[in-house]
């Protein structure tokens, strides 16, 4: 960890760490018990959201006046995703099914500030969600958030999955295990279809979503009081949002055969739903971020004052047993500001049809070792063969 001082004299705690193909970097304000200001990159765009609010489901992450999408799309080999699918469905067709199986393909975070930076969005979230050498993506496939929409019974099931060695053949399964002290598993709640045709879920009391940095222990996002809002599901049940080919700026051959985009001026994915909830600092302090040897609480607050945990990790400092630094949300009574014992998490998302298998048949989803990444099984070469 190192400290940088800007022109204003404010200190910033900066961390850059890596594991295999995944590069994780976080820049967060520190030295104050007050929450840091909103990041400039989202405050100017449509996806900004104050504590307790949800971003517009189809928002842009940059000011609309600055959009510079290509007028002539750059050819991007999106095999083996379904040809012609507006959201690059992953070889699965939900048409005619009452339950739509989907995997999030883009998660545009607007809060908390520590996770809403353009740099973090690109090198952490996109890198983890993007597939490894498939569908024109050069990511790691280490962050899989699954959603099942049961439109017949008005239910939604959501949760995380370990990296899949064969995303198109074997598919994914919901994790159902214990990571650290947190129970990780899929959660099912009711959902309602609005007059505008969009779906919104009931409140999800607790949802622990795992991320699997290659070769390291999983990191869990412990989300409380969450919900999914304003989801537009396509008529064939295959898409939430869509892929934007005009965002591609260049392509590269080689093993990954990936296509590059510039998220600061043109979104590769047009989102079609939003997610929100809060992360208590107490729970965050129990989640170790192994690459930084500090807790998620330290990461979120950018705390200058820290304590040392039993294995040498940095934990949030406490006063009379209570965490010293404050967030922008309160768990009791629930709402923005208040006791400041939490941070609000909000994001817009896009998702596409994907195969979700039986969790009980996969030892990885019962706590077995996860692979290093999605493995790139079926990866196309530079010629797309």
Q: Which domain holds residue 91?
A: 39-68+78-279+348-366
pLDDT at residue 332 tops 50: yes
What does DSSP assign to residue 359?
G
186 within some domain = yes
Q: Which residue has the higher pLDDT, 109 or 371?
A: 109
Question: Is 24 part of any domain?
Answer: no
Q: Is the pLDDT of residue 40 over 90?
A: no
Does the residue 127 lie in any domain?
yes
Predicted pLDDT of residue 255: 66
Residue 9 belongs to some domain of the structure: no
Number of domains in the chain: 1
167 located within any domain: yes
For residue 143, what pLDDT is reported?
Answer: 94
pLDDT in tens, 268-291: 999 999 999 999 999 999 998 887
Q: Classify residue 233 by burial, with Cβ atoms within 10 Å: 0-12, 13-18, 19+.
A: buried
Q: How far apart are CA 45 and CA 61, in angstroms?
A: 5
pLDDT tens-digit map of 136-160: 999 999 999 999 999 999 999 999 9
Is 330 contained in some domain?
no
What DSSP element (H or E) covers 283?
Answer: helix 281-284
Record the pTM: 0.83
Within a domain: 99: yes
- Residue 308 inside a domain? The answer is no
Least confident of 5-14, 92-101, 294-303: 5-14
Residue 236: predicted pLDDT: 96
Q: Are 276 and 53 in contact (CB under 8 A)?
A: yes
Q: Is 146 left (phi over 0), alpha (psi -120 to 50) or beta?
A: beta
Tell me the pLDDT tens digit for each residue of 242-269.
999 999 988 887 667 789 888 788 989 9
- Cβ 19 vs Cβ 215: under 8 Å: yes
- Of 82-96, 100-114, 208-222, 273-287, the range with the lowest mean pLDDT is 208-222
Rg (the chain; Cα; Å) = 20
């Amino acid at each position: 960890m190192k400290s940088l001082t800007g022109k204003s004299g404010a200190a910033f705690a900066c961390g850059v760490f890596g594991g295999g193909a995944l590069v994780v970097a976080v820049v967060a304000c520190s030295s104050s018990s007050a929450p840091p200001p909103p990041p400039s990159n989202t405050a100017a765009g449509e996806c900004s959201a104050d504590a307790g609010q949800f971003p517009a489901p189809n928002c842009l992450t940059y000011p609309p006046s600055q959009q510079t999408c290509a007028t002539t799309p750059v050819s991007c080999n999106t095999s083996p995703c379904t040809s012609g699918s507006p959201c690059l469905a992953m070889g699965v067709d939900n048409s005619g099914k009452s339950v739509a199986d989907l995997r999030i393909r883009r998660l545009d975070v607007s809060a908390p500030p520590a996770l809403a930076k353009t740099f973090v969005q690109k090198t952490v979230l996109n890198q983890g969600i993007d597939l490894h050498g498939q569908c024109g993506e050069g990511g790691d496939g280490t962050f899989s958030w699954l959603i099942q929409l049961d439109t017949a019974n008005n239910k939604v099931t959501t949760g995380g999955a370990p990296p899949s060695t064969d995303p198109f053949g074997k598919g994914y399964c919901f994790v159902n295990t214990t990571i650290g002290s947190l129970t990780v598993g899929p959660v099912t709640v009711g959902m309602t279809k609005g007059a505008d045709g969009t779906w919104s879920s009931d409140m999800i009391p607790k949802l622990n979503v795992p991320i699997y940095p290659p070769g390291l222990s999983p990191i869990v996002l412990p989300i409380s009081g969450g919900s999914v809002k304003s989801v537009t599901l396509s008529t064939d049940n295959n898409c939430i949002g869509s892929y934007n080919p005009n965002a591609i700026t260049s392509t590269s051959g080689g093993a990954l055969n990936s296509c590059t985009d510039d998220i600061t001026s043109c979104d590769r994915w047009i989102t079609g739903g939003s997610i929100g909830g809060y992360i208590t600092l107490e729970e965050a302090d129990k989640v170790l971020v192994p690459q930084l040897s500090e807790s998620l609480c330290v990461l979120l607050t950018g705390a200058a004052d820290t304590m040392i945990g039993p294995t040498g990790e940095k934990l949030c400092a406490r006063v009379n047993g209570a965490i010293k630094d404050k967030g922008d949300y309160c768990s009791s009574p629930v709402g923005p500001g208040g006791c400041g014992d939490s941070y609000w998490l909000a994001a817009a998302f896009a998702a596409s049809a994907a195969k979700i298998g039986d969790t009980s048949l996969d030892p990885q989803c019962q706590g077995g070792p996860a692979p290093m990444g999605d493995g790139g099984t079926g990866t196309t070469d530079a010629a797309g063969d």
